[in-house]
């Protein structure tokens, strides 16, 4: 059911410093910051030959990323994202397997403009997991 790894998301306490590190020290292709008000984050995508890294930075006081950074001041891996062909079929299959979909269970539009869902980390070996329809 799951396809390729779409991205690994890393919450960062200093977005510009993280962008510079990936661009200057690692020589990666680093995108521009993109505000995602519906998700309470500013994102930056780093293009790699086989996947992407998504840098996450809080957007606004109610950002879930701020809560993550309060617990992890240095930042860290926030979630992994896998591609699926049909997000509703994937959701239904996962629910039938006993996995919890966060929120109301309906897909929301993610940073790539595509439908996404998140699975509860307690059901996924301690890892917040995002599914993105491709």
Catalytic, out of 47, 85, 106, 130 = 130
DSSP 38-101: TTTEEEEEEE-SS-EEEEEEE-STT-HHHHHHHH-TT-EEEEEEEEES-HHHHHHHHHHTTPPB
Q: Which residues of 100-110 are buried (b: 16+ CB within 10 A; e: fewer)?
A: ebeeeeebeeb
Please indicate whether residue 130 is annotated as part of the active site. Answer: yes
69: its two tokens: 């950074």
DSSP-derived secondary structure letter, 111: T
What is the set of active-site residues?
130
């Amino acid at each position: 059911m799951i396809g390729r790894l779409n991205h690994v998301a890393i919450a960062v306490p200093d977005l510009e410093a993280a962008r510079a590190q990936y661009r200057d020290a690692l020589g990666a292709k680093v995108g521009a910051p993109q505000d995602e008000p519906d998700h309470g984050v500013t994102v930056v995508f780093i293009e790699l030959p086989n996947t992407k890294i998504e840098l996450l930075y809080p957007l606004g006081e109610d950002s879930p990323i701020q809560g993550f950074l309060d617990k992890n001041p240095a930042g860290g891996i926030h979630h992994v994202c896998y591609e699926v062909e049909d997000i509703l079929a994937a959701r239904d299959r996962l629910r039938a397997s006993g996995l919890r979909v966060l929120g109301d269970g309906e897909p929301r539009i993610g940073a790539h403009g595509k439908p996404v869902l998140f699975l509860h980390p307690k059901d996924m070996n301690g890892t917040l997991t995002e599914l993105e329809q491709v």
